[in-house]
Structure formats: structure tokens, C-alpha cells
Structure 1
Amino acid sequence: MHADVEQSSWRNQIFQEDALQGFARIPDGSIDLLIADPPYGLGKDYGNDSDKMAMAEYLAWTEKWIDAALPKLKPHGSLYIFLTWRYSPEIFVMLKQRMIMLNEIIWDRRVPSMGGGTRRYSSVHDTVGFFSLGKDHYFNLDAIRIPYDAETKKARSRSIFVGAKWLELGYNPKDVWSVSRLHREHRERADHPTQKPLEIVERMIKASCPPGGVVLDPFMGSGTTAVAAQRCGRSFVGFELNPTYCALIQQRLAQHEAPDNARSVLSLE
């Protein structure tokens, strides 16, 4: 009974506070999946100075929050982290000293071929690291398989392919994800400078968080992780400094009907 009461104090809540302080609310070993979309160190305006650190300060801060967050994961837990190519090498090394690296995923944002610099190639992708605490990490491939079209299935009609699970259910998503960024007119778009598409985050949750599990997002931003978890029937917990974004998260969660086990609560503490 005590455990249930303790869990209800943080599960399915977004706390308006710094994650480095807020992690203390969450018991160690209680999180199935950690999805982190931290400031990239590029000077974006999030209503505060959180993205305006110099390189050494930014990397030191990153190491600090990683060391505070990882104990919250269960032994089979995993981490996805969104990064820019500018800092992904250093941060991947940090994480490889603490976890098992499973993939470097390239998110192709489908940026139109126009504009860009004249002294280097245009950057049109984000880098995503996928890590686990152990080799027995949870991963449900069947939940995220991509179906083959009818033409492909017909071409694979020879007897050696009959009954093949991969042909019937679809193929494993590759490590390059071509998903359009949320342009200004996109129906998902909220007032946030670096909002991630639900399609990407839902794939992460379906693959790497068991049904009924809990997803932690230390930098909630527009709340995509919370909305995706709610839509997938998982629980969530997260932190966000900006009160305007906290209100936005509450609004987005209210637009989606939550299952009984994932009622959303916003805690402005």
C-alpha cells in the first residue's frame, strides 16, 4: 500500500522544476524508458538561458544530469537521447562508459533543398542515441514493424517465403528515420521551437517500454513524450522549467483521452 501511495505522488505528472532537483521525487529502479531531448547548446530561446552554455559548461551539465537520471532506470531499461552532430560524439562517449550503445539513429527531417550555408553542407538531420543498461533490455520489434506493400508481398510469393513472419508482419525499421519536421502549418505543431513528431516518440515507446510501463522525460518541452505515452497506454513523468510550456503540455494532454491507467496531472511545484 505504501508503494502505491508513493508511486501516485510522481507517476503521470509533469513537474515545473529543474530535473536535477526533481529526480529526487522518483525512486531508483522505477523507470522503464528514458527519452531525453535536452537543449542542444545552440542558443535556442526556451524562455530562459538553458540553451546558452559554452561547450565545457554544456558538457559538464550533460554529464551531471545523465549521472542523476540513469539510476532511475530499471535493469532492463533503455535510453533514447536527441542530439545535434556538434555534441553527439562527446555525449555518446559519456554514455558508452555507463551503458550499452545499441544504435545511432539518424532522423532525416525532410528539410526542403533550399538555402543553407555556402562553405559547408547543409545540416538536415538530428542524431539520436539508443542505449540500454543491459543486454536483456526490453525491445518489442513486432510493435513497430513496417508493413510491406502488396506489390512487395506478391514479388516474394515463392514457396521459401510462405509463412515468413517478417513478410507478414513487416520489416524492422532501419537506423535512418525519414519523418518530416513539424512545419508551421502542421496539425501537430505547438508553439515550441524544437517540438518532436509524435510518430518518432511513439515508435520509441512502443518498442522500448512494456505495456503499463513508465517513461521519464527530463526536458518535457512541448510535452510530446507525455502525449505519446498517454496515446500508447503507458505512464509518464517529466520536468519542464518554462511555465508557458507546462500550460501547453496540460492543453495537449487534455486533447487526448487517457486510458484509465494513465490519467494525466500537471504539478506546478
Structure 2
Amino acid sequence: MKANTIYQMDCLDGIKQIQSNSVTLIIADPPYFLGMTHNGSKGSFVDLAICKPFFLELFKEFKRILRPDGVVFYFTDWRGYAFYYPLFDSVLSAKNLIIWDKLSGPGSFYSYCHELILFHTSNTKLHLGGSNIWRNHSFGNEAKYTNGTKVHPTQKPKELIQKMIEQHSQIGDLICDPFCGSGTTALVARTMKRDFIGFELDLANFKIMRERLQRDLTQIETIDAT
């Protein structure tokens, strides 16, 4: 696997080719599979449950490629948390749960205004302070569309990713995003002079992301498996 490259392939297959103890920071935003998201799509818990062996193996690969002082941020929502937490904690050990307050959201009952971020590190010398509630505006209702400034239904704001990278990496460190989506993590990482490697299986998403990165960033390569 070559640094500063995004591969159109299954992330588990790709991560198995990354050198052990080489990654400083993993930022993972997997498909949620269930519930209502900002783009109005729905799924079921069955979709998530059948993926258990995949995610268990993926977390083991996270542990292998992470440096001893490495960090993982893993996005989920209130429905997926019950599934992900036991798997994540059994392999990596969850050190904290961050609440991302999006300040707005959909929902006919109480609005879905937050997402959850599992946090892992083995660095016993790390002392951060501050709150585990992070407030960053999401894309709100724009997320129902894929044109304009919004190119992916679950795209995260640059400011949120920037905070993670600033606090947990240095210039030249390697960052991995297993589910690249719109390429926001790649874009922010390279802008901040970090090396990056990522994967995106969905070809349609990959092509949209490639167009975005070619427009906004010339320092990263995309490799289409087809």
C-alpha cells in the first residue's frame, strides 16, 4: 500500500496490506446500515448483525497497524452503538465516548442531533482535558442532496476532522480512513501535511470523491480497481 493514495477496494483486504505499527491515527466512518440519516435513507438491524465477523476482523487489523501511541476515532449512531461497542471494546478497548452535537438534524419525534464516536488509544501518557461533547454544525438538510457543496450523504465537516488530526498526529504521520466516502479526511490530512491512505469500495462514491480531490487537492492519488 502506497501512502497518499485512495484505493477503490474492500477496506479489510486493503488494510491487511498495511505495515504493522505504522499508522498514527485511524478515522473510521462506516455505513450505519440502519435508522434514518440526513439523506432520508433507512436500513435494518439485520443488515448490521450479519456484518459482525467483518467488523471483528477489521478491529483486529486496526490494532495491528496502529503504532503503540496510536488513536482510533470510530463513528456510529445511537442504534449502531449497541452492536459496535462490544466488538470495538473487546479488541481495542474503548477509552472514551465522544458525543458529536450537530446542532440540527432530521426526525419526526425528537430530532437526531448527535452522533457517537468511540475513542481508543493505548497511550497511557495522553492527557487531553476538555469535554467529550464536541459541537460542530453538520450539513443539515443539505445532506439530502449530492450536488453543490455536499457530495456524500454522510459527509463530515472539515472542522471536526481537523480537530482529530490536530490533537492526535504530527506532520508526516500516517492517517488511515477505511471508509473514505467523500474524501474529507484525505483532504484535511494532506492540507495539514499528514500522509494518508484510504479505501472506498462503492464505485459511485469513489468517482465522486475522485472528482472532488482532483479539484481541491493535487497531492493524492486515486486507484480505481476497475
Deviation at 1:39, TM superposition (A): 1.0
1:264 equivalenced with 2:224 (yes/no):
no
Deviation at 1:44, TM superposition (A): 7.9
Aligned partner of 1:124 in structure 2 is 113
Q: Which structure 2 segments of 5+ residues have no match?
A: 38-42
Aligned partner of 1:83 in structure 2 is 76
Contact 2:24 2:71 in 1 (8 A): yes
Deviations 1:208-254 (Å, cap 9, x if unpaired)? 12221011011101111101101111011011012222222223223
Contact 1:105 1:176 in 2 (8 A): yes
Q: Which structure 1 segments of 5+ residues have no match?
A: 1-8, 46-50, 142-171
Match of 2:13 among 12, 17, 21: 21
Rg comparison, structure with higher value = 1
Contact 1:223 1:248 in 2 (8 A): no
Matched residue type, 1:268: D
Match of 1:37 among 3, 23, 29: 29
Matched residue type, 2:72: L
Match of 1:103 among 88, 96, 101: 96
Q: Percent identity?
A: 30
Deviation at 1:202, TM superposition (A): 0.8
Deviation at 1:54, TM superposition (A): 2.9
Contact 1:231 1:256 in 2 (8 A): no
Aligned partner of 2:135 in structure 1 is 178
Deviation at 1:264, TM superposition (A): 0.6
The alignment yields a C-alpha RMSD, in angstroms, of: 2.7
Deviation at 1:64, TM superposition (A): 2.3
Deviations 1:4-39 (Å, cap 9, x if unpaired)? xxxxx5100000000111113211111110110011
* Aligned 1:170-249 pairs, distance under 5 A: 173-183=130-140, 184=142, 189-249=149-209
Deviation at 1:122, TM superposition (A): 3.4
Distance 1:174 1:239 in 2: 31
1:54 equivalenced with 2:69 (yes/no):
no
Distance 1:229 1:207 in 2: 12
Deviation at 1:173, TM superposition (A): 4.5
Distance 1:96 1:12 in 2: 29
Deviations 1:129-176 (Å, cap 9, x if unpaired)? 111133245x7x6xxxxxxxxxxxxxxxxxxxxxxxxxxxxxx64211
Aligned partner of 2:85 in structure 1 is 92
Distance 2:63 2:148 in 1: 30
The two structures have a TM-score, normalised by structure 2, of: 0.84
Distance 1:127 1:58 in 2: 19
Distance 2:107 2:97 in 1: 27
Distance 1:188 1:67 in 2: 38
Contact 1:82 1:127 in 2 (8 A): yes
* Aligned 1:139-150 pairs, distance under 5 A: none
Deviation at 1:65, TM superposition (A): 1.6
Contact 1:101 1:131 in 2 (8 A): yes
Contact 1:182 1:188 in 2 (8 A): no
Contact 2:23 2:70 in 1 (8 A): yes
Distance 2:173 2:154 in 1: 26
Distance 1:65 1:107 in 2: 23
Matched residue type, 2:96: N
Distance 1:115 1:198 in 2: 24
